[in-house]
Amino acid sequence: MTEDEDLESFRAEVRAFLDAELPPEKRFAADGFANSSKELTAWWQGVRAKRGWGAPGWPKQYGGCEWSLAKKRIFADESTKAGAPSYSPFGLTMVGPVIYTFGTEEQKAEHLPHILNGTRFWCQGYSEPGAGSDLASLKTRAVRDGDHYVVNGQKTWTTQGHWADWIFCLVRTNTEVKQQNGISFLLIDMNTPGIEVRPIRTIDGMHHLNEVFFTDVRVPVKNLVGNENDGWTYAKFLLGNERAGIAGVARTTGDLIRLREWASSASHFINPPINDPVIAQRLDSLEQRLAKLAALEARALEAPSQSAEAMRLVAPLKLLGTELSQDVSELALDIAGPAALPRPANDPVHPYGQEGEHAMSVFLFGRAQSIYGGTNEVQKNILAKMMAAGI
């Protein structure tokens, strides 16, 4: 069997799996992980894990698939087209790889199976009120007290913190050295006394962000990942994985397919917007940019982990991916026009259908894309420094 035949066979297998396991009422039940429910996300992760497809990128020894880039993309594309629920990235693509790469055998046995089958949710304790893109300036302290660390401080913009069972947290364990050299990586049970979670309501009307406060929280020393004060190394490893995923190729592919179908719909429009040469040209341009982004992402994912090439491609992936996603949402909003405005609950459905209000919700949520995961302005500074250094 040729490689192309193998991939087409795999695509058919994925479609059959989705047809069999994803009932109609679960399809397109949520638009992205941010406005999904914990129950829906956990259910789908469990279904995938039962099939052996819970972690496409993990090593097989930890229950992963070790799929090629091509197979990962096929699975993501077909899942998006089928309207499958999103996964929560904080366990699967962020802390999971950190644990199986740098964690103890006890930590691996304790956490990886739960991440894989969707029975334990995680959130990320990185950003603070005074430490966002300048993450190394974080102030949350962890002071050693026998077999525990005592943690005090605050984290913010904590996505899914109200869901999370555990939080992986960057804490300062040494204040006498260079900022990056005094940070440690802790795994903290969110049920530990002294932790308070407060919701942050965003402009899109959703609750997916939170503030997390730590007051004399006692964390066992066995929950330290790797070596004390080496947390910046593990944080960079994790951020590389996070920002590569932020390119959002599969998500944007689904958004563009949905947008083109809507713009071409005679049932929603007397004169479909696709007939407007300006709209058609903007759609074509966005699809061309997506193809280039996918090729760039493929280069980054095929490069050896933590290699100079992989690290060099992270910043432009984040920049181009988030800017493309925002431009897609702007075109959807332009097509929707007045139909994007909210209407009273007793109003009849607009002839444009629910796509108009969906366009507004996606547009508002998308404003944050150029901020989270490292602001685009900071990514440009990183690129400029790398170019100046000849990297």
The residues that are catalytic are 242
Angle at 29 between CA 163 and CA 200, to 5 degrees: 35
Give which of 364, 380, 274 is closest to 326, Cα–Cα.
Answer: 364
Between CA 93 and CA 377 the distance in angstroms is 24
**For tokens 């607009």, what's the residue?**
350
**For tokens 């990185």, what's the residue?**
126
Between CA 153 and CA 183 the distance in angstroms is 14
Three-class SS of the chain: CCHHHHHHHHHHHHHHHHHHHCCHHHCCCCCCHHHCCHHHHHHHHHHHHHHCCCCCCCCHHHCCCCCCHHHHHHHHHHHHHHCCCCCCHHHHHHHHHHHHHHCCHHHHHHHHHHHHHCCCCEEEECCECCECCCHHHCCCEEEEECCEEEEEEEECCCCCCCCCCEEEEEEECCCCCCHHHHEEEEEEECCCCCEEEEEEECCCCCEEEEEEEEEEEEEEHHHEECCCCEHHHHHHHHHHHHHHHCCCHHHHHHHHHHHHHHHCCCCCCCCCHHHCHHHHHHHHHHHHHHHHHHHHHHHHHHCCCCCHHHHHHHHHHHHHHHHHHHHHHHHHHHHHHHHHCCCCCCCCCCCCCCHHHHHHHHHHHHHHHHCCCCCHHHHHHHHHHHHHCCC
Which residues are CB-neighbours of 389 under 8 A, at least 6 positions away?
Answer: none
In contact, 165 and 120? CB cutoff 8 Å: yes
Q: For residue 163, which amino acid is it?
A: W
